[in-house]
Structure 1
């Protein structure tokens, strides 16, 4: 089962291994929870397989011991693994999440909903401005989770609803931090807590943000079509309120359109992706010039950044890089978004087989936020592929970069 020609693409390797096992397209697709059309596009090279989760599922279904047999590269992940790197912040966060709802939180001296909101906003700001987001924000979250639950229990009426809204915002940050570094169950606990507190807050923006974060989780799990439906549900909550001109409400509506565009792009639906992207752009133009949403970082520059990523997802690197030419990375205030832009530029160059440029931009992305790259599976996968394609003096640079982002080269 290991005698596959080195020049085969990932899709071609999957097809060969599937046929060797005597599995039809519908059967293998069903084993990994996807459609036959999705798998056909992967095998034909019409869609890029960027999800570590799906690589692991396919390796298990095809009964191969490591995903490197599918990728043909140095990205080595046991088929029963998760493709995640652990982080020292996770155990304390896990303890806080498992214990917060089942301990008697003291209500005497509990912080006010306003103070809780200020701390959550500050934590989100740190997430977007820190070069080591998971380490610095992760140190704050356990106490913040416990204080948030105490705040909810200590108040009634409108103040309790405000506490629920702030706690929902907090759990969306917990969800963001835990992505790719913990067991799926813990990630979904955070997501569901955020959704539950959003419902208790009984505010349109909170409910729409719950849809936004849920769609992110659905897409990360490989359910792009379901993610788009969730984004649409969130948009519907806000459409009747857009004429109010409220900046937060407008920006959340725009962020939902951006997420739908990303999901459509990853699903190969170019027309729908561009339609949602255009609506996000129109929405961004309605915002005050200096406004950026504290959680999603939605603003005009963020629309442009996601346009690059959508081009990469649609396997249209020429369009992705053309869009990138009009963006000045240093003007993007969110370091997380800045590093993501540079990562997408690197991926675009890799798709065009421009290895030197890909190594350069992936290195720049890592310099902006080392943790923002090290803990992203697609970045590690790209680093591994660059080790394989680099040659000459560039090889040493590619190997050093792969080791820096957590890939054993």
Structure 2
């Protein structure tokens, strides 16, 4: 058992348990998931690992269960930092459910300028994967911003709505990263409500991207694609990458990136390539930008292209192209994005069938050192580590260290 009380084969075991309780044969379940029965059998027995998020989503859909049913997330905390981060989730939930944009509690709210700065700081913490700091008292922040948004007048209400949108993005990111998909979706939906009242195309698009990401991660692909497609169409006519304010172009680019990834998960290679190309063109025209810590630019497009390649099974070649360039991660200023890149490099090299496992271990180790809270709560990271451990002929110190840090025995 690991520090969370789970076993290395737990996802596969959960798949088998749910499949048999549903009365589904291997052939039927595999057919519904779009994979072969022998492959599903190997997944259930732990002989193959769930290194692609799309695979988890496909199997969850086939078994009529949630992704969380398969992964067992949120995990029990393995250390004090994780415990502090997870302890923020109940407060976030109360903050979202105890107030709406039409009805707020009768409580005194802190001064608006303090709340705006608080939301900005929380977003920066989230971008660097400091989830405990990002989520600390976030429920209170959400409540106070709701009060100002509803009770305030004119400009004050708009300022509160924008800060509320940013706080909801933080809440969605913290909840998603810590394994609470339902809370992430709820937070993102509230952010979209705030953006709709602002009638700002760029903010609406950033909110839509947040919602699409949260919905896609839980396996709600139809709704995720619908939200992204609607905002893509709306923003295409008003986005100008040559304008002094590039926020709309950045938001459009992020929507193309998340649409490319969703298409890759669905096996729609042509659509994925088209969206990725649009994002790359926008990034070339506006350079490295960072509105609301979305880090849109050439470096992030390259990182997303790698993640998409991994989902499509072409990870090793994509990883080779990225690592051939000196300082390939230097332009990614957010720890979350740097860690995501190294994590995806680890996943990519692991797809080489064991020939590049040393590099996979090195990049997974780097990712965990950059953003430990992000990696240690990710079920795909645990799957990758178990896979690398099972294939290892020599137990390198990095591998032993990773198993200890992630609580995998």
TM-score range, shorter chain: 0.7 to 0.9
Q: What's the offset of the Cα at 1:342?
A: 0.3
Give the whole-Å Cα distance in 2 for the aligned partners of 1:310 and 1:147.
39
Secondary structure, counterpart of 2:344 in structure 1: helix
Give the whole-Å Cα distance in 2 for the aligned partners of 1:37 and 1:59.
5
Asked if 1:240 corresponds to 2:237, the answer is: yes
5 Å-filtered alignment, 1:43-122, equals: 43=39, 49-50=52-53, 54=57, 57=60, 81-82=72-73, 84-86=75-77, 87-101=86-100, 102-106=104-108, 110-112=111-113, 116-122=115-121
Q: What's the offset of the Cα at 1:247?
A: 0.7
Asked if 1:213 corresponds to 2:214, the answer is: no
Q: Aligned pair count?
A: 370
Asked if 1:231 corresponds to 2:258, the answer is: no
State the match for 2:45 in structure 1: none
State the match for 2:32 in structure 1: 36
5 Å-filtered alignment, 1:155-166, equals: 155-166=152-163
Secondary structure, counterpart of 2:53 in structure 1: coil
Q: Contact 2:232 / 2:252 at 8 angstroms: preserved in 1?
A: yes
Unaligned runs of 5+ in 2: 1-11, 41-47, 78-85
Aligned residue among 134, 143, 154 for 2:151: 154
1:227-278: CA deviations, max 9, x gaps? 3332221111211112372311110001100111111222222222121111
State the match for 2:184 in structure 1: 187
Q: Contact 1:209 / 1:252 at 8 angstroms: preserved in 2?
A: yes
Q: Contact 2:204 / 2:231 at 8 angstroms: preserved in 1?
A: yes
State the match for 1:333 in structure 2: 333
1:274-298: CA deviations, max 9, x gaps? 21111101111222x4532223211
State the match for 1:268 in structure 2: 267
State the match for 2:399 in structure 1: 398
State the match for 1:32 in structure 2: none
State the match for 1:71 in structure 2: none
Secondary structure, counterpart of 2:330 in structure 1: helix
Distance change >3 Å, CA 81–CA 59, structure 1 → 2: farther
1:9-31: CA deviations, max 9, x gaps? x7xx97xx88x966386x637xx
5 Å-filtered alignment, 1:353-372, equals: 353=354, 354-372=356-374
Aligned residue among 194, 199, 224 for 2:196: 199
Secondary structure, counterpart of 2:291 in structure 1: coil
Please, what is the CA RMSD of the aligned residues? 3.6
State the match for 2:385 in structure 1: 383
Give the whole-Å Cα distance in 2 for the aligned partners of 1:283 and 1:99.
40
Give the whole-Å Cα distance in 2 for the aligned partners of 1:331 and 1:250.
19
Q: What's the offset of the Cα at 1:78?
A: 8.1
Q: Contact 2:382 / 2:406 at 8 angstroms: preserved in 1?
A: yes
Q: What's the offset of the Cα at 1:39?
A: 4.3
Distance change >3 Å, CA 248–CA 299, structure 1 → 2: same
Distance change >3 Å, CA 103–CA 333, structure 1 → 2: same
Aligned residue among 299, 302, 324 for 2:300: 302
Give the whole-Å Cα distance in 2 for the aligned partners of 1:78 and 1:255.
29
1:95-115: CA deviations, max 9, x gaps? 3334344521326x6415xx5
Aligned residue among 150, 168, 172 for 1:171: 168
Q: Contact 2:288 / 2:298 at 8 angstroms: preserved in 1?
A: no
Distance change >3 Å, CA 150–CA 266, structure 1 → 2: same
Give the whole-Å Cα distance in 2 for the aligned partners of 1:270 and 1:85.
37
Q: What's the offset of the Cα at 1:186?
A: 2.4
Distance change >3 Å, CA 150–CA 58, structure 1 → 2: closer
Distance change >3 Å, CA 348–CA 258, structure 1 → 2: same
Unaligned runs of 5+ in 1: 1-9, 30-34, 68-76
Give the whole-Å Cα distance in 1 for the aligned partners of 2:117 and 2:211.
24
